[in-house]
Amino acid sequence: MVKNCAHRGFSGKYPENTKIAFEKAIALPGCDGIENDVHLTKDGEVVIIHDELLDRTCLNMTGFVKDYTLEELRKADLSYKFAGEVEPQHIMTLREYLELLKPTKLVTNIELKTGIFEYPGIEKKVYDLIREFDMVDRIIISSFNHYSVKRMKELCPEIRCGLLTDCWILDAGKYVRENGFECYHPRFTNCTPELTKEIREKGVDINCWTVNEEEDIRKMIEAGVTTIIGNFPDRVAAMLKE
């Protein structure tokens, strides 16, 4: 059965990577997991937000996440385009997120946003939190920075890891397996039935992103991917129920 993962929470209907988006995903029947993105603050706290810059999703602050302390970032309103429709949304730490998810059965895909700024030490900070909450078996670590994923794997060999890509990789299944990982996280447009079959035959899970339209969701189900990561987990749930 294809798994249904809420991309940045229920981000199609609520501000992405915020508490309300996560709560709505948790409450949704048929949602199997949540994807989020982490950065480090100026004072070394692991926080959840997608972009390196605040500008796109923040209503009252600009600049790089890394240049602010957690206390300063608490003032940011991340309501994004949903301002006025929801209460002001404030940045969450990974600790707060894990506290929210711990009582559930949902899996979490934590994307390390180390593609532009490497945030030295972020892997250890994330690992320590996952271990503290005893959630290693419910976590997938991913990143476009495959060196960052490798560092996490060295810290915790048993944690599942996925390599994010935004291009067509030759023999992707072999690349993932030979580097000691379990999952491949491609853009959904790269998941043809032929390539999906070839990669899964190598024992690699395919967790594709970002699949929002019903036509594309159906294509991914028919292609046989492992997980659909999308902004509208309600649409995925409804189609899987069919």
- The residues that are catalytic are 7, 50
Report the DSSP pairing between strands 92-93 and 107-112: unpaired
Classify the C-alpha dihedral 151-156-157-161 as positive or negative. negative
Rounded Cα distance between 208 and 144, Å, is: 13
Helix ranges restricted to H, the chain: 19-27, 70-73, 94-101, 122-132, 146-155, 172-178, 193-200, 214-223, 233-241
Residue 173 in tokens: 């299944």
Give 152: exposed, middle or buried? Use CB within 10 Å, 0-12, 13-18, 19+.
Answer: buried
Label each residue of 96-141 as H, E or C. Answer: HHHHHHCCCCCEEEEEECCCCCCCCCHHHHHHHHHHHCCCHHHEEE
The answer for residues whose C-beta is within 8 angstroms of residue 96's C-beta and 6 or more apart is 19
